[in-house]
Amino acid sequence: MRANLTPSYPAIALALLTGGGMLLAGASSWLVVAVVVLWLGSLWLTAPEPEIVPERIDAADISRDAIHETLAPLGQPLLLLEGTRIVEANRAARTALGDHIGGQDARIALRHPDAMRLIEAPDGTSVAIPGFTGTRTLWQLTRRDVGPDRWIIELADRTAESDIGRAHTDFVANASHELRTPLASIIGYAETLKDDAALDADTRQRFTGIIEREAQRMLSLVEDLMTLSHVEAEKHDRPREPLDLGQLAARVVGEVSTLKGKERVELAAAEPGLSVLGDAGQLEQLLRNLIDNALKYGGPDTPVSVSAMRDDHGRAILTVSDRGPGIAPEHLPHLTRRFYRTDPGRSRASGGTGLGLAIVKHIVERHLGELGITSALGEGTKISVTLPLAPLRE
């Protein structure tokens, strides 16, 4: 902005001429000077307020600033292009694609052939690009026209949705396979019993025993699938009721150790007053799953040890240990995956569904805990569940 302070030259000239005329008429020089000064002073006092003339502002600069302020805080990655050049990239876009993309030609910045289709495409065109920002990523890019030779690319990260869809597909396929195997066995033996009347009593007894075992295996699998679904549905519903973890461990071990074949389960330690916020039913199921795994895969004649103690950081830690053959290191990161088995044949023979540790993992997550698995070949396996203690009530 600038002020218009242009002087009134005609008025000044008139004041000077008047002064000159007075001198010619014989007036005192002091009087002439006084008159001229007063005249000029009156001109200054009665001058109008200076006119403020705005400087010329480039409309294009205003437009770019407004666009920058509008796009910058938005959470969705957005690119503004003029022709093929990226003139603006908001913070989310720079995080996803890098700071270098500002000012670049879109054909160089985006680099993907499918993304290049948007340059000549009509408004609203959308493309899905696997591997756009990484090997297993999936992004959807959409063109939006905003003016002559000016358009926006909306970027939407669909990686999580793709992973969920893939996980659901794998889960259905694995569940179908797990159910098909015992079902085929049941149908085969049932058809044999129906069609072959010459079977002796011992053979029939053996066949019916196999049918019963496979049916029980199917029932266990369906129950675990329902349990897993129920636990997943409640994973955001945090437990609010305090319970004594030591008492729960002592009760479960006492019940399990009285069952035939499970007498070797022992309670190594149970600290009193170990209060956590927990779902009693789910934590009991968690402990039973860990004990069953230790019995199935631990040494047949070695004890399974259970303890519930306070750790060095003031948290509750529930531990189940066996002295079995142990688990190879390459299997440890995958043990909580659904249907993952280190030894499929042995697992199925022992009645395992492959879902026990997946259920345990989801229960631990719901309780804001941590699951730890350590194992040494020839020495055994230890699984620990660390939970925050319940806050003290006033």
pLDDT tens for each residue of 152-174: 888 888 887 766 666 566 666 67
Domain co-membership, 372 together with 256: yes
Q: Determine the pLDDT at residue 23.
A: 63
Q: State the average pLDDT for the chain.
A: 80
Domain co-membership, 176 together with 85: no
Residues 373, 314: contact at Cβ < 8 Å?
no
pLDDT band for position 353 (cuts 50, 70, 90): confident
Q: Determine the pLDDT at residue 365.
A: 92
CA 265-282-326 angle, 5° bins: 40
CA atoms of 248 and 307, how far apart (whole Å): 11
pLDDT higher at 253 or 116: 253
Domain co-membership, 140 together with 188: no
pLDDT tens for each residue of 283-321: 999 999 999 989 988 888 889 999 999 988 889 999 999
In a domain, 284, yes or no: yes
Q: Determine the pLDDT at residue 41.
A: 62
- Buried b / exposed e across 38-69, counting CB within 10 Å, b at 16+? ebeeeeeeeeeeeeeeeeeeeeeeeeeeebee
pLDDT at 39 over 80: no
In a domain, 15, yes or no: yes
pLDDT tens for each residue of 102-113: 888 888 888 788
In a domain, 283, yes or no: yes
Alpha helices in the chain (DSSP H): 9-24, 29-45, 59-71, 91-97, 106-109, 113-116, 159-195, 201-233, 245-256, 280-297, 344-349, 356-366
Domain co-membership, 187 together with 211: yes
pLDDT band for position 11 (cuts 50, 70, 90): low
> CA distances (Å), 367 to each of 79, 234, 236, 361, 379, in order?
41, 11, 9, 10, 30
Last residue of a domain, one of 232, 252, 269: 232
Q: Determine the pLDDT at residue 54.
A: 45
Last residue of a domain, one of 207, 232, 257: 232
Chain-centroid distance of CA 15 in Å reads 83
In total, how many domains does the chain have?
4
pLDDT tens for each residue of 16-27: 666 666 666 666
Residues 295, 323: contact at Cβ < 8 Å?
no
Containing domain of residue 377, as a range?
236-387
- What percent of the chain stands above pLDDT 70? 75
Tell me the CATH number at 165: 1.10.287.130
In a domain, 394, yes or no: no
Token digits for 83? Answer: 């022709």
CA atoms of 32 and 21, how far apart (whole Å): 9
Domain co-membership, 177 together with 249: no
CA atoms of 272 and 310, how far apart (whole Å): 10
Phi/psi of residue 123, nearest 5 degrees: -60, 135
Give me the mean pLDDT over the 91-117 stretch: 82
Tell me the CATH number at 327: 3.30.565.10
pLDDT higher at 178 or 352: 178
- The pTM of this model reads 0.57
pLDDT tens for each residue of 188-246: 989 888 888 788 889 889 999 999 988 888 888 888 888 888 888 887 788 989 999 99
CA atoms of 82 and 91, how far apart (whole Å): 19
Domain co-membership, 43 together with 6: yes
Domain co-membership, 383 together with 241: yes
For the chain, report the end-to-end CA distance as a whole number of angstroms. 66
Domain co-membership, 288 together with 355: yes
Domain co-membership, 303 together with 380: yes
Domain co-membership, 356 together with 246: yes
> CA distances (Å), 57 to each of 51, 66, 88, 150, in order?
18, 14, 21, 21
pLDDT band for position 1 (cuts 50, 70, 90): very low
